[in-house]
Amino acid sequence: MAHLFNRNVLLGVTGGIAAYKSAELIRQLQERGARVRVIMTGAAQEFITPLTLQALSGNPVHTDLLDAEAEQGMGHIELARWADLLVVAPATADLLARLVAGRADDLLTTVALATPSPILLAPAMNQQMWRDPATSRNVATLLERGMKMIGPAEGLQACGDIGPGRMEEPATIAEAAEALFESGILSGKRVLITAGPTREALDPVRYISNHSSGKMGYALARAAAEAGARTILVSGPVRLDTPEHVERVAVNSAQEMLEACMARLTDCDIFIGCAAVADYRPAEWQSEKIKKSDQEMTLRLVRNPDIVASVAAAEPRPFTVGFAAETNNVIEHAREKLLRKRLDMIIANDVSDERIGFNSDFNAATVLWPEGEQALPQASKENLARQIIALVAGQLPVVN
């Protein structure tokens, strides 16, 4: 399984002799399905050229914090948000110390501070430097803060010493990166997710719909499957591939989506309603194309069933999560929907901001449940989906 499929991996390269192995690491990450961008420190460029890593990654290499041109395109905050994972390989003793101090004096340390995503470090240094108490303390502090580490390996070093300090092999680092996305937190659970828009037909060629691309719901399905859940995606019409290990049930209208969900509820522990379901459908469906005649035409619409509320009213019911797409008083309206629809959790989504929400690759949300809430700052939908799945797993009732 390509666990890094569709993942944005930002590779930080610092100034150590192992920097030459970063070239192979890019290939290993790409083979596992990742999109790779590279940040190099000044010292790293003494060991390997940005051109080499640009050619391999297929993207310009980022080197400067204060580069006006870069800031107009993919600046440091955009890079930090783009990344689903920051891998630093090699990570020198100096880089570890600067991370501990929270420095932001070059692009790599600034992005490390600014990213909401996990950080994986592959240390590489002389064995005595690795054994030094200062480095040991730095490593312990970074692990305590939640950063992950792979290696170093033991063996003959470039300086002639033998001991711990060699950077792990690129394939091992790529495997560690993959493993970060396999949490197992929903292992044994059955998850049903709705995604995309619904289409409410007027006649054989016309319909009422909305701008939902399905990206958020598909990212949730991928995150749920990677968390070990048996995942079914009931999807309106979208142009997306079905995530690996996810079963997709294709529907068009709200009524079809409701039927597909209700038929699968007995086998469901968690329901997540992410679809942008049309609230109304045309009162009549014309079997032949409606001809234009008068200057004006009146459409009569009737209410569609509320799918997430129907699921929450079922007996027995799964842990039921809804979304609230709002343009004003976002949290207030979302909390009202949480109570009115009797949900266990709701994801408040401000869709007035065009950079996030409908159709964008990015989103930001506040997750609300009866006794609490958590804001999730802007990140890729893949990243946000993993955070939502972690919060859902954390709120599930404990079964004895």
Contact positions vs ligand PMT (CB under 6 A): 196, 212-217, 254, 273-277, 279, 304, 306-308, 322-325, 337, 349, 351, 357-359
Mark 70-98 as b/e (b = at least 16 C-beta within 10 Å): beeeebbeebbbbbbbbbbbbbbbebbbb
Q: Quote the CA–CA distance of 248 and 233 in Å, as a whole number.
A: 5
Residue 261 contacts residue 234 (beta carbons within 8 Å): yes
Cβ distance to ligand PMT smaller for residue 52 or 209 = 209
Cβ distance to ligand PMT smaller for residue 118 or 357 = 357
In DSSP notation, 86-134 reads EEEEEE-HHHHHHHHHT--SSHHHHHHHH--S-EEEEE---HHHHHSHH
Cβ distance to ligand PMT smaller for residue 113 or 302 = 302
Q: Quote the CA–CA distance of 317 and 308 in Å, as a whole number.
A: 11
Cβ distance to ligand PMT smaller for residue 80 or 345 = 345
Q: How far is the CB of 34 from ligand PMT (least distance, A)?
A: 21
Active-site residue (options: 159, 261, 268, 274): 159
Q: How far is the CB of 162 from ligand PMT (least distance, A)?
A: 53
Active site residue 274: no
How buried is residue 202: exposed, middle or buried, by Cβ count under 10 Å (0-12/13-18/19+)?
middle
Cβ distance to ligand PMT smaller for residue 149 or 311 = 311
DSSP-derived 3-state class of residue 176: helix
Residue 270 contacts residue 392 (beta carbons within 8 Å): yes
- Name 31's Cβ contacts closer than 8 Å, sequence gap at least 6: 174
Q: How far is the CB of 280 from ligand PMT (least distance, A)?
A: 9
Look up residue 34 and give its amino acid. A
Catalytic residue set: 159
